[in-house]
Amino acid sequence: MQRQEPTHSEPTLGDLLQDLWQAKFALLWGGGIGLVIAVLFLATAVPHYRASMLVAPAERRTGPDIKALLPDNSSFAVQYLMNSIGSPDSGDYMRFENILRETTVAGRLLEDERIVKGVAADRRFSFENESAAGSAEKFSAYLTKSIAVEPVGTTPMRRLVYKHPDRAFAGYMLTRVYQTADDIIRQEIRDKTQSREAYLQNALATVDHPDHRRALTSLLMEQEHVRMILAMDEPFAAIIAEPPAAGVRPYWPRKTVIVPAGVLAGMVLAYMALGLRRSFKT
């Protein structure tokens, strides 16, 4: 006589519902514990507002005009080559984007008392008391962690995002970071321009060849043009495409997400614990 193997049917939806009904007390206990944990989390969490601003490259070219070094009768090919070499962007905006959260900017920001006090008040939970404004290196690490630089599509624009318990301070921080980085680049270009002007003026006093004097004069005029741009009270490396703004409601924590997630997690853990208990008994 052929032996028949026992068959095991797959559990149906009815079996699952019956099992959940049998575990209803464990699920209620787990959900209650999860709710208590979620409430404690919300009670100790400090609400943060999300502020963002858009920056874009300033339309400026401050490099020397290499075409001025060519004689008037240069061929078209040479003129085209020099025009391609002498006109690319100086990379000020690229540098602006990369120094926003570095030590140099952080050191300048620490000179602002409002920045120091605002950073000291930035904490995720009420029981935290550590401040990130102790040194430039420590503050730079805080900026790297707290300020996000997000691309805007395929454009060169960038979105700066910062979260803080104080809505007004969040916008102020983004503005100060932008201004400080732009001022640092502006000051370095100003120093280089003054050094170049001094060199070109000394060279003009010692050169007698007409072509050399014409080239040096053109380069000197170019540096004077740069100095005039620097003297204007306007952004140098980047412009604000959209000023900083923060939401009316806190961005973190979100009660509508944390409370249901806590209850669901508690119920799942309770159901798993009940299943392990049953498996040990059998």
Q: Enumerate the domain spans of the chain.
A: 49-183+237-246
In CATH, the number for domain 49-183+237-246 is 3.30.1890
What contacts 177, CB < 8 A, 6 or more positions away?
100, 101, 105, 109, 143, 147, 160
Mean pLDDT of 139-168: 94
Contacts 24+ apart (CB under 8 A), 123-126: 123/46, 123/165, 124/45, 124/46, 124/48, 125/44, 125/45, 125/46, 126/44, 126/45, 126/46
pLDDT at 89: 47
- Phi and psi at residue 240, to the nearest 5°: -85, 110
Q: Copy the structure tokens of residue 49.
A: 């507002």
Q: Which two tokens stand for residue 7?
A: 């068959």
Give residue 79's pLDDT.
45
CB burial string 145-161: b at 16+ within 10 A, e below: ebbeeeeeeeeebbebb
Please provide residue 144's backbone torsions phi and psi, each rounded to the nearest 5 degrees: -60, -35
Provide, rounded to the nearest whole percent, the portion of the chain with pLDDT above 70: 82
**What is the phi/psi pair of residue 261, to 5°?**
-65, -40
Terminal CA-CA length for the chain: 32
**Scanning the structure block, which residue is given the tokens 């412009």?**
239
Q: Check if the beta carbon of residue 99 is closer than 8 Å to that of residue 184.
A: yes
229 pLDDT tier (thresholds 50, 70, 90) = confident
Please tell me the least confidently modeled range out of 77-86, 173-182, 271-280: 77-86
259, HSE (Cβ side, Cα atoms, 13 Å): 6
Q: Quote the CA–CA distance of 57 and 156 in Å, as a whole number.
A: 7
- SS3 call for 29: helix
Mean pLDDT, the chain, rounded, equals: 82
pLDDT-based confidence at 73, cuts 50/70/90? very low
pLDDT band at 193 (very low <50, low <70, confident <90, very high): confident
pLDDT at residue number 80: 39
The H or E element that residue 269 is part of is helix 255-281
